[in-house]
Amino acid sequence: MRLQLTIGALVLAIGIPAIAAAAPDSNACALLTREEASAAVGSKVGEGKLTAGGSMAAAGIDVSGCSFSGGSKDLSVSLWRFSPSAQQTLEVYRGLCRKKEQAAGLGDLACWYNASHNELQVLKGSALVIVELRGRSPDALTTVAKQALARLK
């Protein structure tokens, strides 16, 4: 959510034209299985609940989210697809991510949102995968990110 607001502000500031088509393969729930989400959370979770993010469509960014709930913990996975018209916004985001603590070995560029390591942001090509999970080790987020990236088309 924080990242959506940040990128939303960047889009408004840069003034990207309102040209966007729905990106293929933009279902964040397709990036993880229920079993993988359960392993990350540390308890059984329900099926992922898809949330479409179309609010960024006018800026050329297709957004979807998926939430897996299990007990007192929730795992959230977001998928952002930047169209060719949103490349300037993507470059600004890359610059911001490079200023944060890096997570090596994931995608083209990966960073932790902050020092608490509850949110991992990974860029691969023109796609951004964001994984959020509180109360678990950073290794759980890294594992989820690797699994999601393996399914990213």
Domain spans in the chain, listed from the N-terminal domain onward? 2-151
The predicted pLDDT at position 89 comes to 93
State the CB neighbour count (10 A cutoff) for residue 73. Answer: 16
The predicted pLDDT at position 18 comes to 32
* Residues with Cβ within 8 Å of residue 132, at least 6 apart in sequence: 75, 76, 77, 78, 118, 119, 120
pTM for the predicted model, two decimal places: 0.82
Q: What is the pLDDT of residues 99-111, one digit of tens each?
A: 999 999 999 999 9
Find residue 122's DSSP bridge partners.
110, 129
Q: What is the pLDDT of residues 116-149, one digit of tens each?
A: 999 999 999 999 999 999 888 899 999 999 999 9
Nearest Cα neighbor of 91 from 4, 11, 2 is 11
Q: Would you tell me which CATH number, out of the four given (3.40.50, 3.40.1000, 3.90.1690, 2.60.40), belongs to the domain 2-151?
A: 3.40.1000
